[in-house]
Amino acid sequence: MIVRAIQNNWLDYPWSRRSLASHATPFDVLRTEFERLLSGQNRAWGGTCCGATASSSDVDLADEGNQLKLSASLPGLSEKDLELKLTADSIVLRGERKVSVPDGYTARRRERRTYAFERSIRLPTKIDPDKAEASLANGLLTVTLPKAEAAKPRNITVRTS
């Protein structure tokens, strides 16, 4: 009786998804790391990429009809650490968090980092900068940006001829 051993060589079955996925080359790992770094998803390292930090990249902009609402996660920042500049078609967020040890004490462990950021966001419609309002509560910045009269949606009546 002849018994033939089955070889489990991943090259024998190149169309098999399982065999290819289990044999990633070093170049595949390197490519994945570069893609992760360049897309700004490096939060697992706690590092920065291209000047972005985890806190400076969490911004949402919503269109609510007559106004735009911008929400940004800014943990550890107070009103005095934050600066907003507003034009008719863009908003600039600038801030800095400083972590310091009180006089007479020594830091035994530091997990919170000092960081500074600046974000410029182009707005999709013209706004009225004079009516804008901003509030900061529990690390969440909320900016209400009323649209300019020319940019507000209007109802048009349809007439028959």
Chunked mean pLDDT (size 10), the chain, 161 residues? 51 49 70 74 47 59 91 88 88 88 86 83 89 92 90 82 79
Check residue 2 and give its pLDDT: 55
Based on the fold, state whether residues 26 and 63 are members of the same structural domain.
Answer: no
Check residue 19 and give its pLDDT: 46
User: Domain for residue 133, yes or no?
Assistant: yes
Check residue 39 and give its pLDDT: 66
> What is the distance between the alpha carbons of residues 161 and 159, in angstroms, rounded to a whole number?
6
Based on the fold, state whether residues 98 and 136 are members of the same structural domain.
Answer: yes
Based on the fold, state whether residues 66 and 143 are members of the same structural domain.
Answer: yes
Contact predicate 42/34, CB 8 Å: no
User: Domain for residue 75, yes or no?
Assistant: yes
What's the CATH code of the domain at 122? Answer: 2.60.40.790
Check residue 89 and give its pLDDT: 83
Residues 148, 150, 151, 153: is their CA dihedral positive or negative? positive
User: Domain for residue 81, yes or no?
Assistant: yes
Check residue 111 and give its pLDDT: 78
What is this structure's pTM?
A: 0.58
Based on the fold, state whether residues 117 and 89 are members of the same structural domain.
Answer: yes
User: Domain for residue 160, yes or no?
Assistant: no
Closest C-alpha among 151, 53, 145 to residue 92:
145
Based on the fold, state whether residues 67 and 146 are members of the same structural domain.
Answer: yes
Based on the fold, state whether residues 66 and 94 are members of the same structural domain.
Answer: yes
User: Domain for residue 68, yes or no?
Assistant: yes
Check residue 62 and give its pLDDT: 92
Based on the fold, state whether residues 22 and 74 are members of the same structural domain.
Answer: no
Number of domains present in the structure of the chain: 2
Contact predicate 125/117, CB 8 Å: no
